[in-house]
Amino acid sequence: MVINMDFMKEYERWIANGKVDAATKAELEELRGNLPEIESRFGSTLSFGTGGLRGIMGAGLNRMNVYTVRQATQGLASLIAPLGEEARRRGVVISYDSRHHSREFAEEASRVLAASGIHAYLFDELRPTPELSFAVRELHCMAGVNVTASHNPKEYNGYKVYWEDGAQIPPSHADVVLKEIRGSDIFDDVRVIDFEQARRSGLITFVGSEIDEKYLGKVLEQSISGEAVKACAQSLKIIYTPFHGSGYRLVPEVLRRLGFENILPVAEQMKPDGDFPTVKSPNPEEKEGFRIAIEMARREKIDLIIGTDPDADRVGIVVRSAQGEYLSLTGNQVGALLTDYVISARTEKGLMPEKPAVVTTIVSTRMPFELCRRNHVDVFEVLTGFKFIGEKIKEFEDTGSHNFVFGFEESYGYLSGTYARDKDAVVGSMLIAEMAAWYRLKGMTLFDAINALYRKYGFYGERTVSVNMQGLDAFARMQATMQRLRAEAPREAAGVAVTAVRDYLSGERTVLATGVKEPAGLPVSDVLFYEFEDGNSVVVRPSGTEPKVKLYVLCKGENDAAVEASLDKYVAAFRKLME
């Protein structure tokens, strides 16, 4: 093995540095002689992007720890401080989830900000990510920080940065923070103040229930069918689990305030716990996490289970079929159901605004396009990531062109209302429960409802596949694959002609039959979108953090069997193209 002595020098520097705590030094001493692990920790650094930081917790430059959190926060402070006294006074609001070290990392971030004269508002306990987005705007802060790794395994933590509009930090600002991080020494260039001293001087302020009340008020404003909830308040039983995360308090609270009387918590999963002891993964996309909830539902023949991830920005559901089976609905299915519900229920009550708009992402189900067309609602698609939906909301407000009524992405993220600029599992849970009551009055369950949508708008199906790149040159091979697809653009796949290709890197949509090029219409991103003659689509997108290319296959057919057949053939064809 050829050893890069630079990472060994950094490893030894951490052990020798007087600013490194004893526990961290002991952890590093235990690694002595384990060159692969030392290189993993010191051979590279955590990447700071528009989503902030995310990584495995532990000692080292390429790990989430108090030192990497401090350095990132110093970079954020260097972005805010030059904006002047008012920006420093407006400050940064900080929240965190139930993961190990989340509270500690949040406090360390507040200490660094305070040392630069920037006011830090620190939540007094864990809170949902969407409440952080709301709090940024409610408190008129310059920025927000949320310590969370969303639904990643327990070994991970993260550091998400928001800007003054409540959406995740834009690329231009992220670049400034990244430049500051890369140009600084992780120990010598980071300033920290004593926590209690900063509190006494007013540079760190705790926030709590007063923000909860304002946030819950905004969530409850999104309710549409209060009379349906009242009619079903006792008869509709709902099981809820927060998967040991930050939804444990506010989701049941908003359901109770809405009027539901039979919210049954999964007791084993209600306590916040960074070990997530009852699940393999705290991810509502995976049915396994609902095992205990499903056992409860079977005993009492309950139709609906709701689960939120550790930072309560994603929500998943399990429903009971007509045959009594418990089925996990996909993010696309729930997104379609909620889109239809928001439009239909608002229309019934005369609550639809003028120029209504739904916003979704390019990798989400195509059903809303037909659904919105028939209901005279404009639908917009944006790049993957809820921050782009947030940007669209801001655009609507700035231009007055449309009124936002609902937004969703396939990865279990939903938002109604403009009080936040990120996906919100609290409002998502409320609307799902309310929707279940609305359908109950029609004699239908949510299982019946999704099948009714298929019969009305057509059968749609989606599949996401990750093509993993193996070996030391995995990232280079991933980039080479994307370059090859551009240089040798396929004109057909699975026996079906490609009619057009959207290349969001070049910003062009090319019609293959004529060669005519037109603007792709979205910001620059390394994404290819293939439109096929049969109306189906395939999106190819490399991961920004892992050596894999993701395929999003979006199909429509005459029935479920036809959709599944199309999904199978397109997945097979594109897997072959990836070889």
Q: Which of 251, 235, 230, 231 is nearest to 430 (CA)?
A: 251
Tell me the C-alpha to C-alpha distance, in Å, between residue 448 and each of 263, 320, 321, 357, 478: 22, 10, 8, 26, 42
- Determine the length of the chain: 579
Q: How far apart are CA 415 and CA 431, in angstroms?
A: 10
Q: Are 396 and 402 in contact (CB under 8 A)?
A: yes
Across 81-108, b (16+ Cβ under 10 Å) vs e yields eeeeeebbebbbbbbbbbbbbbbebbbb
- 3-state SS of 239-305? EEECCCCCCCCHHHHHHHHHCCCCEEECHHHCCCCCCCCCCCCCCCCCHHHHHHHHHHHHHHCCCEE
Supply the DSSP symbol for 402: -
Token representation of residue 16: 């020798």
Could you say which of 78, 102, 150, 429 is catalytic? 150
In the block, residue with structure tokens 């039959």 = 513
Active site residue 98: no
In the block, residue with structure tokens 């526990």 = 23
Q: How far apart are CA 358 and CA 378, in angstroms?
A: 6
Q: How far apart are CA 172 and CA 391, in angstroms?
A: 14
Q: How far apart are CA 353 and CA 520, in angstroms?
A: 29
In the block, residue with structure tokens 């936040």 = 420
Strands 403-409 and 356-361: parallel
Q: How far apart are CA 405 and CA 343, in angstroms?
A: 8
Cα angle, residue 396 at apex, residues 394 and 397 outer, rounded to 5° = 65
Catalytic residues: 150
